[in-house]
Every structure is written in C-alpha cells, then in structure tokens.
C-alpha cells in the first residue's frame, strides 16, 4: 500500500522500490495484495531495479497462470509498448490454456 501511495504522489526512487520489495517479502502469496500491487507496479516496471523488475514480471506471470486474467489484462492493455513486450515474454512462457484465457480476456477488455 505504501508503494502505491508513494507512486501516486510522484515519488519513484530507491525508497519507493524498497517499499515494493518489502511488500513482496512480507506477502508473496496473497492474491488480493498481488492484484493491487501489480496494478501499481506495471506502469513503473521499466524503471524498477533489475531484481524488483523480475519480481514484478514473475508476479504478473503467476497471476495469469492462476487465472487472474481480468486485472492483469487491464494492466497489460494500459502498459506502454516496451512494458507490454516484457509482459508478453512472460505470457509466452505459460501453458496454452493460460495463454488463451489471457488473450480472450484482453480481447474482451479491448473491445
């Protein structure tokens, strides 16, 4: 939550990413937190230090793999082209059923 508040107020520095890392460390498997966290993290994924960027991408991939395609689809559609390319590289690693589910959600959200 603190990471989200910091980014909402235009703060995007090492401290901000430390807050995000703390969130990953304290609640790595909480889906409801992950959904909120990914919504805030995707827009800044390109600016994140490499280890945190990998955590963002891992979480995105994990959420899609577990069927959370609507929120991740929205984040994907709102991402910049460069961010979308990173996200797509993770989607491409998923099983066919997860990829199709995600593609269907993105298509529905985009129309």
Quote the CA–CA distance of 110 and 88 in Å, as a whole number. Answer: 16
8-12, 74-78, 80-84, 103-107: least confidently modelled range = 8-12
Joined together, the tokens standing for residue 101 give: 């589910």
- Residue 1 DSSP label: -
Per-residue pLDDT at 57 exceeds 90: yes
Convert the pLDDT of each residue in 7-43 to its tens digit.
665 667 777 888 889 988 988 888 888 998 999 999 9
Per-domain residue ranges of the chain: 2-110
């Amino acid at each position: 939550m603190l990471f989200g508040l910091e980014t909402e107020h235009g703060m995007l520095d090492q401290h901000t990413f430390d807050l995000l890392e703390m969130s990953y460390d304290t609640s790595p498997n909480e889906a409801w937190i992950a959904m909120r966290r990914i919504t805030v993290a995707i827009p800044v994924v390109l600016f994140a230090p490499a280890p945190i960027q990998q955590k963002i991408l891992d979480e995105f991939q994990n959420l899609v793999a577990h069927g959370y395609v609507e929120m991740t689809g929205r984040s994907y559609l709102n991402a910049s082209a460069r961010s979308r390319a990173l996200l797509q590289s993770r989607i491409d690693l998923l099983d066919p059923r997860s990829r199709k589910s995600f593609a269907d959600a993105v298509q529905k959200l985009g129309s």
